[in-house]
Amino acid sequence: MKTETRNGSGGQSASRGHVKAAGWGKGLSILTRITVMALRHPFQSALAIGATLIASGFQLMIPKLLGRAIDEAQGIGAGGSVGTAAQDALLVTALLLLAASILRGLFTMVQNYYSEAVGHHIGYELRLACYEKIQRLSFSFHDSVHSGDLITIGLLDLEGVRMYFSTALVRMIFLSVLIGLGAYLLLSTDVVLGLLALSFVPFVGWRSSVTQLRLRATWLDLQERLQVLTRVMEENLGGIRVVRAFAAQQHELEKFDAASKSALELAHQRVGIRVANTSAMTLSFFAAMGLVLYVGGGKVMAGEITVGTLASFLTFMTILQMPVRQLGLMVNAFARASTCGARLFGLLDLDVAVKDAPDARPLQLTEGTLRFENVAFAYPASPDTPALDGVSFEARRGQTIGIVGPPGSGKSTLAHLIARFYDVSGGRITLDGQDIRSVTLKSLRRSVVVVQQDSFLFTTTIENNIAYGDPWAKENQISRAAESAQLHNYVLGLPASYGTVVGERGVSLSGGQRQRLSIARAVMLKPAVMVFDDSTAAIDAATEQRIRHAMRRYASERVTIIVAHRLSSLMHADHILFMEDGRIVEEGSHEELLARNGRYRALYDLQVRPGDDALTG
């Protein structure tokens, strides 16, 4: 059972800077793309569209049947006696009216069910595609986006695309049939009354569309403000300990209140727009109905039309009122799907910077030799400022390479390039002579593991966190990995041992314990290259020494790269690289570098012999 939950939690959450909404010129292609997605489910789509056509047909029958029933009832009353034939005709009309109403309801239910089904199928496919894309996008993308932006696209924008089929496409078919065929029936019965009955349609359709587009524009603004609100809340929850430590609760409340008020003001503005236009549309409808009653009543008295015919006109107007108002909702649904689809598809269509080459093959390891050959690299955000320049070195199996230097010298960048979190800008990195860009990412990252300083843990058990890279690992493998990271004894002292659930992001563990768990997670995979990116910074010196001693049996079988600011973490390394401004300025063993009296020696005197340094100064 344990293996079922090991990879069951965690994950990361496109920025609007990366994924921009398309212009109106591209709107049609986006809507076409969504329509094609809907038609990939032909059975549900056909049922939804077919039911819409049938339901609208039965809807149009109701006014005609109601008018006929009124005429038949009036004829019976005017005759002074109730004839069997008249009674039968009225009963048949009543039954037809009831049947038409029931069938209209049933087919409307089928339309709604299958329209929603198509939408949910689209949503399911897009959610998977969106999440899969986020997993594959490179570190350079995630470096410059906020998780709140990704969540907005994955939830709100995806919802706008999902609802397109039911709220835009099917509704357009329904309104086209209802208004088009209904207008033909009314005008063919009486042109004057037909025009009067339809007189409110252009105004209501225009105002509804304008209103919905205004509401859509304000909704986008509101969405941005809610996004700011989400960021404030997310940062507050993530840094709640810092907030408490600095007694900044009032500042955070004021910040949240300001963002919340901004969203509330715009929400009130949206309510005002909706209420004002709804009142105008209702007034136009009743004005048109009053004209139909006045003119139609005169025609009835003149004997030009029957009371039933007038009733059918009024009934049709009542039926038509809500669908005509939905013209605006339909226009809004098209606009929303276009803008939301532009952002969503913009994310899905992003090119993955780091991906397998077309002819990529699995990594084949023999000697396990890692080599940097004149490597250069610059981050996409600052292409003119190289983070690495002309870096070359070689590390063989069993060797430990230490990398040290001032902040911003390129140490972590070098570590991330080995696992191909980024691609080099110049030169190349090889493993046993194979350029890491020519092998599959899966095989490379099984062979190269980077233990980072920021130890992310999933909200699951300690066992599952350690076995994250190998969910089928046996319990003795997990415990041995924990022993190597000097975590085993601590875990045994917990009430549920390895079954203990760590809090969100591992907040129930100390920084050193989280780092040791991350080391255990890396050791589980037994990689050919193990990179420690300042991953023992939160571990005390004594525990670090025990970890180093326990790791010796692993180090003899692989290349070990240690990136550190603390010299005591890497003085035992076979070869040490001192980096500055993206270049290797000194290299050699600990003793060799001390003898040179260069930058390494200066750092050593500062860290290891601060007392002596103070005396001589």
Are 308 and 69 spatial neighbours (Cβ–Cβ below 8 Å)?
A: yes
| Prediction pTM value | 0.71
Sign of CA dihedral 176, 178, 183, 189: positive
Task: For residue 455, count CB atoms less than 10 angstroms from its CB and return exposed for 0-12, middle for 13-18, buried for 19 or more.
Answer: buried
Strand segments (E) across 437-581? 448-452, 529-533, 559-563, 575-580
d(CA 549, CA 555): 10
Greatest alpha-carbon pair distance for the chain in Å reads 128
Residue 343, domain extent? 20-138+145-348
Task: For residue 242, count CB atoms less than 10 angstroms from its CB and return exposed for 0-12, middle for 13-18, buried for 19 or more.
Answer: exposed
Record the tokens describing residue 555, joined without a space.
């180090």
d(CA 532, CA 402): 10
One domain for residues 342 and 374: no
CATH number for the domain including 289?
1.20.1560.10
State the residue for tokens 């996004």: 227
Q: What is the DSSP letter of 356?
A: -
One domain for residues 122 and 176: yes
Q: What is the DSSP letter of 305?
A: S
Identity (one letter) of the amino acid at 319? I
* Residue 250 neighbours by CB under 8 Å, 6+ apart: none
One domain for residues 444 and 592: yes
* Residue 252 neighbours by CB under 8 Å, 6+ apart: 232, 236, 243
d(CA 441, CA 122): 30
Task: For residue 422, count CB atoms less than 10 angstroms from its CB and return exposed for 0-12, middle for 13-18, buried for 19 or more.
Answer: buried
Please identify every stretch of the chain with a pLDDT value under 50, giving residue numbers as ranges. Answer: 1-24, 78-81, 612-617
Are 406 and 327 spatial neighbours (Cβ–Cβ below 8 Å)?
A: no
State the residue for tokens 């276009």: 338
Does the residue 291 lie in any domain? Answer: yes
Does the residue 496 lie in any domain? Answer: yes
Does the residue 452 lie in any domain? Answer: yes
Interhelix angle 84-136/170-189, rounded to 10 degrees, is 150
Does the residue 363 lie in any domain? Answer: no
Alpha helices in 80-138 (DSSP H): 84-136
**How many Cβ atoms sit within 10 Å of the Cβ of residue 102?**
11
pLDDT at position 609, please?
Answer: 63
Q: What are phi and psi of 143, to 5 degrees?
A: -65, -30
Q: Give tens-digit pLDDT for 205-214.
A: 787 777 777 7
Q: Give the Cα-Cα-Cα angle 496, 515, 600 (nearest 5 degrees).
A: 160
**How many Cβ atoms sit within 10 Å of the Cβ of residue 113?**
13
One domain for residues 327 and 471: no
220-229 burial string, b = 16+ CB within 10 Å, else e?
A: eebbebbbbb
Q: What does the DSSP assignment read for 111-126? A: HHHHHHHHHHHHHHHH
Closest-CA residue to 570 (of 608, 522, 597): 608
Are 425 and 376 spatial neighbours (Cβ–Cβ below 8 Å)?
A: yes
One domain for residues 182 and 222: yes
Record the tokens describing residue 205, joined without a space.
């359709």
pLDDT at position 373, please?
Answer: 92
* Residue 199 neighbours by CB under 8 Å, 6+ apart: 288, 291
Structural domain tally of the chain? 2
One domain for residues 402 and 342: no
One domain for residues 280 and 397: no
Does the residue 13 lie in any domain? Answer: no
CATH number for the domain including 533?
3.40.50.300
Bridge partners (DSSP) of residue 426 are 376
Residue 455 parent element (H or E): none
d(CA 522, CA 466): 8
d(CA 131, CA 153): 11
Give the end of a domain, one of 295, 318, 348: 348
Q: How far apart, in Å, are the Cα atoms of 117 and each of 14, 36, 47?
A: 27, 15, 11
One domain for residues 441 and 581: yes
One domain for residues 320 and 446: no
d(CA 409, CA 414): 10
Does the residue 359 lie in any domain? Answer: no
Closest-CA residue to 370 (of 394, 388, 348, 387): 394
d(CA 147, CA 235): 11
Does the residue 6 lie in any domain? Answer: no
One domain for residues 248 and 212: yes
One domain for residues 312 and 406: no
Q: What does the DSSP assignment read for 237-298? A: HHTHHHHHHTT-HHHHHHHHHHHHHHHHHHHHHHHHHHHHHHHHHHHHHHHHHHHHHHHHHH
One domain for residues 403 and 510: yes
